[in-house]
Amino acid sequence: MHKSSQIAGSCPLPGTLLGVSEAATPSRVGWIPVGLAVVRGDSMRPTLRPGDRLVVRYGGRVRPGSLVVARFADGTVAVKRAADRRLTASDQPGWWLASDNPSQGVDSRHRGPVADGDVLAVVRARVWPWPRPLRGPSRPSGPTT
């Protein structure tokens, strides 16, 4: 299984994450659902590196170029870049998700678009190391449909 991200928090998250049968989603801070993600693997280099800690907002607005935490159909949870709006195989609206380092990892090129409901969170900032807000580069291009 591709190692992409780990979510820290308090509620069980369905699916398999990093070979572990149970992971967690975040608790609420005030009224805003926020959490932490830990980057695993090299698929998002150079933007993110293994071990980076990210603040994510669950239910945040996804825009082309946003970094997101998403669940692929096989249960893999990963940090990826939302590239384009696409329809899934079941004709639901979704996102084409891309790796910043296409030679590493799994993304929509391998698994297809991800339904809106499986885009779990939007990355707001990296908090360790080198704390900073994350603003994505220009939109990556995926295959056209």
The residue written with tokens 């825009």 in the block is: 63
| The model scores a pTM over 0.75 | no
Whether 140 is in a domain gets the answer: no
Decide if 45 is inside a domain. Answer: yes
Range of the domain at 104: 5-133
Structural domain count of the chain = 1
Q: Which helix (H) or strand (E) segment is 109 a member of?
A: helix 108-111
Predicted local confidence at residue 135, as pLDDT = 67
% of the chain residues with pLDDT over 70: 71
Question: Would you say residue 66 lies in a domain?
Answer: yes
Q: Can you give the pLDDT at residue 131? A: 81
Mean pLDDT of 113-133: 93
Tell me if 22 is assigned to some domain: yes
CATH code of residue 119:
2.10.109.10
Residue where the block lists tokens 């339904």:
115
145 falls within a domain: no
| 31 occurs within a structural domain | yes
* Sign of the dihedral through C-alpha 126, 104, 142, 140: positive
In a domain, 11, yes or no: yes
6 has pLDDT over 60 = no
- Asked whether residue 141 is domain-assigned, the answer is no
Residue 80 near residue 65, CB atoms below 8 Å: no
The pLDDT, as a whole number, for residue 137 is 54
Average pLDDT over every residue of 63-75: 96
**Are the beta carbons of 26 and 8 closer than 8 angstroms?**
yes
- Residue of 112, 111, 29, 124 whose CA lies nearest to 69: 124
